[in-house]
Amino acid sequence: MSYIPPFDAPRRGPDLSRIAEGLRTQGRVIIALMLREMRLRSVQSRLSYLLALLEPILQLTMMMTIFTFIGRRPDFGTSLLLFLGTGILPFFLFTHVSGRTTGAIRASGLVRALAPIQPLDIMLARALLETATLLIVAILLFTFIYATGVKDAIPSRPMLAIQGFAATALLAIGVGLINGVIGAFFRLWAIIYGVLSRSLIFMSGVFFVPDFMPPPIRYFLSWNPLLHGLEWFRSGFYLTYPTLTLDKSYLIGFGLVSLLIGLALERVFRPRLI
Amino acid sequence: MMAVEMRDIAKTFRSARGPNHVFEHLNAAFPRGASVGILGARGAGKSTLIRLIGGSTLPDHGKVRRVGSISPPVATTQAYHAALTGRENLHFVARVNGFDGDAAARFVARFAQMGEAIDHPLSSYTRERRARFLFAASYAMPFDIFIADEALFGGAGVFRERCAELVQARRAQATLIFTTRSPQMLRRFADIGAVLHEGQLHMFDRIGDAIRLYRTIDDSAADAPLEDDDTEERYVDEPFGPLA
């Protein structure tokens, strides 16, 4: 492809001040896009953003009701609520961030409306806003679980939980960028990806502890990067959580590679992203 | 010092009726601080040229070099969202470009005499208010380069006159590049005249030379009336953003 982009700065070699200037512009643009997006979510109803925050809590309550009804015991620890909560949160982080980035470019209607806005900024703004939303959801969710009387809901090793959250977010943003480019060409991708990513709930260890699975199944499951994010996050809450399957470098490597693929795709297809 | 330089631009639109080569080897340079008026017949590629300069269309080949910040084409609505208020939309555009959103909103409210309407969603604006908002908002921020495709100023009555004065004021402070089919507009707003014909841009230091060339190319243009009325309508009818 012989595409050469328009450039806005004076013709000089790349030096640090230009890179800093570029990053400042990009930061400004992404923050502006995030604020706009946040405002637009509460346009139809003032409750809609609140509902987005409460959705995981509602879903967790539903699951709890069903599981209590069939008399299921938690695979680990004493509280089924906490066990499911620590599983569902990284899962939601991944599906929401990577899923919502899929339609970001078209939904914004802003591609090349203003010279400083690039398609990458639109995708990143949405991914980062969704990550920030899920961070608030996490705080709400674990406060809620704590309030129901589960004292373990405050992570015993908070750094592990934060690292797990960050690594899962990296994975989600990387996959989200790839999705964003595919979604710009192929509308149905949002639906297909939605179904695929939701089915991951059964393979990511939300309902079970991977280390308690038979080795052949464990090996098969270990290819799923999201499972490692879940393990990592959960190990921050339980002191004795078994982490034999957990491979942190696999998760981070997978995240970085998808981020690079996503950035490369955006760069190659930038002239055609609408 | 050039504000915008275009080197060896090629742009082809492909449709069912075959490819339409709008530009094949276009070269152009627009000096900083000057106002360039571009004359061109229907279908000469005026809109494509403005979109290439503004970056809303990317060239298939070649480079566009811009020095400084560039406004979206005057009175375009793409960056605005119908569900957001005038103030929120202005803040968004200002924030993206690194300008002062409060100052822009104050300016638009005062200049377009919008009063409290600046805090109402754009979708609730009447036709006249919408036109006023769009034109005032286009000139509310201190861009280095302003671009316009046909619609340079608009509105009705007294506002229209004040809007034309505003364009003159901005022209003194910044680079202005606009297209038109009306020689009168060129005389009124341009320092440099240009004619876009068969994929090439011919520039003249004297406006008269540009108009003479344009008249030899396009006979019908000779007696053409001032057409900004009809082009203004075209822009005002466009709905705001994706929700409208």
CB–CB of A40 and B84 under 8 A?
A: yes
Q: Is residue A69 part of a domain?
A: yes
Q: What is the CATH number of the domain that holds B206?
A: 3.40.50.300
Q: Which stretches of chain A sit within 8 Å of chain B by CB? A: 2-11, 25, 28-29, 31-33, 35-36, 39-40, 43, 107, 109-110, 112-117, 270-271
Q: Check residue A101 and give its pLDDT.
A: 92
Q: Is residue A4 part of a domain?
A: no
User: Strand order of the sheet with strand B18-31?
Assistant: B18-31, B2-15, B61-66
Tell me: do B95 and B140 sit in the same domain: yes
Q: Check residue B236 and give its pLDDT.
A: 44
**Structurally, how many domains does chain A consist of?**
1
CB–CB of A43 and B55 under 8 A?
A: no
CA nearest to A261, candidates A178, A181, A154: A178
Tell me: do B96 and B160 sit in the same domain: yes
Provide the β-strand partners of residue B13: B20
Q: Is residue A56 part of a domain?
A: yes
CB-side neighbour CA atoms (13 Å) of B55: 28
Tell me: do B38 and B17 sit in the same domain: yes
Contact residues, chain B, for A267 at CB < 8 Å: none
Structural domain of residue B56, as residue ranges?
A: 2-71+177-230
Residue pair A125/A30 in contact (Cβ under 8 Å)? The answer is yes
Q: Is residue A10 part of a domain?
A: no
Tell me: do B12 and B61 sit in the same domain: yes
DSSP string, chain B: -EEEEEEEEEEEEEETTEEEEEEEEEEEEEETT-EEEEEE-TTSSHHHHHHHHHTSS--SEEEEEE-S-BPPPTT--TT--TTSBHHHHHHHHHHHHT--HHHHHHHHHHHTT-GGGGGSBGGG--HHHHHHHHHHHHTSS--SEEEEES-SS--SHHHHHHHHHHHHHHHHHSEEEEEES-HHHHHHH-SEEEEEETTEEEEESSHHHHHHHHHHH-GGGTTPPP-HHHHHHHHHTSPPTTT-
CB–CB of B242 and A109 under 8 A?
A: yes
Tell me: do B66 and B16 sit in the same domain: yes
Q: Is residue B40 part of a domain?
A: yes
Tell me: do B96 and B165 sit in the same domain: yes
Residue pair B71/B96 in contact (Cβ under 8 Å)? The answer is no
Dihedral through CA A120, CA A125, CA A131, CA A137, nearest 10?
-150
Which candidate from B55, B83, B95 shows the least CB-CB separation from A115? B55
Among chain A residues, the shortest Cα distance to B72 is held by: A114
Structural domain of residue A59, as residue ranges?
A: 17-272
Residue pair B53/B31 in contact (Cβ under 8 Å)? The answer is no
Q: Is residue B80 part of a domain?
A: no
Chain A nearest-CA distance from B221, in A, is: 32
**Structurally, how many domains does chain B consist of?**
2
Tell me: do B97 and B135 sit in the same domain: yes
Return d(Cα A8, Cα B143) in angstroms, integer: 13
Contact residues, chain A, for B239 at CB < 8 Å: none
CB–CB of B96 and A32 under 8 A?
A: yes
Which candidate from B78, B88, B95 shows the least CB-CB separation from A113? B78
Q: How many contacts does A have with B, using Cβ atoms within 8 A?
A: 84
Tell me: do B90 and B161 sit in the same domain: yes
Residue type, B130: R
Chain A nearest-CA distance from B17, in A, is: 21
- The tens digit of pLDDT for each residue in A216-240 reads 988 999 999 999 999 999 999 998 8
Residue partners of A208: CB distance under 8 A and separation at least 6: A75
Q: Which residues of chain A have pLDDT under 70?
A: 1-14, 274
Contact residues, chain A, for B68 at CB < 8 Å: 8
Q: Is residue B121 part of a domain?
A: yes
Token readout for A111 is 């591609």
Return d(Cα B151, Cα B142) in angstroms, integer: 19
Contact residues, chain B, for A8 at CB < 8 Å: 65-68, 70
Q: Check residue A11 and give its pLDDT.
A: 52
- Count of residues making up chain A: 274
Instruction: Name residue, tokens 């679980």.
Output: A145
Q: Is residue A64 part of a domain?
A: yes
CA nearest to B26, candidates B234, B202, B233, B216: B202
Which candidate from A5, A28, A270 shows the least CB-CB separation from B98? A28
Q: Is residue B125 part of a domain?
A: yes
Instruction: Name residue, tokens 């910040």.
Output: B69
Among chain B residues, the shortest Cα distance to A122 is held by: B96
Pairing of strands B192-197, B35-40: parallel
DSSP string, chain A: ------B-S-S----HHHHHHHHHHHHHHHHHHHHHHHHHHTSS-TTHHHHHHHHHHHHHHHHHHHHHHTTPPPSSSS-HHHHHHHHHHHHHHHHHHHHHTTTHHHHH--TTTSTT--HHHHHHHHHHHHHHHHHHHHHHHHHHHHHTT-GGGS-SSHHHHHHHHHHHHHHHHHHHHHHHHHHHH-TTHHHHHHHHHHHGGGTTTSSS-GGGS-HHHHHHHTT-HHHHHHHHHHHTT-TT---SS--HHHHHHHHHHHHHHHHHHHHHHGGG--
Tell me: do B197 and B160 sit in the same domain: no
Residue pair B75/B166 in contact (Cβ under 8 Å)? The answer is no
Question: What is the ipTM for the molecules in this complex?
Answer: 0.83
Q: Check residue A53 and give its pLDDT.
A: 79
What backbone torsions phi and psi does residue B35 show, to the nearest 5 degrees? -110, 120
Residue pair A268/A2 in contact (Cβ under 8 Å)? The answer is no
Residue pair A168/A253 in contact (Cβ under 8 Å)? The answer is no
pLDDT in tens, chain B (244 residues): 889 999 999 998 888 888 888 899 999 999 999 999 999 888 888 999 999 999 888 888 899 999 999 999 998 888 999 989 999 999 999 999 999 999 999 999 999 988 889 999 999 998 889 999 999 999 999 999 999 998 888 888 889 999 999 999 999 999 999 999 888 888 899 999 999 988 889 999 999 999 999 988 876 654 555 444 444 444 444 444 333 3
Provide the β-strand partners of residue B9: B26
Contact residues, chain B, for A112 at CB < 8 Å: 55-58
Q: Check residue A14 and give its pLDDT.
A: 64
Give chain A's radius of gyration (CA, Å): 20
H, E, C per residue of B90-129: HHHHHHHHCCCHHHHHHHHHHHCCCHHHHHCEHHHCCHHH
Which candidate from B64, B72, B242 shows the least CB-CB separation from A114? B72
Q: Is residue B151 part of a domain?
A: no
Which candidate from B56, B97, B241 shows the least CB-CB separation from A116? B97
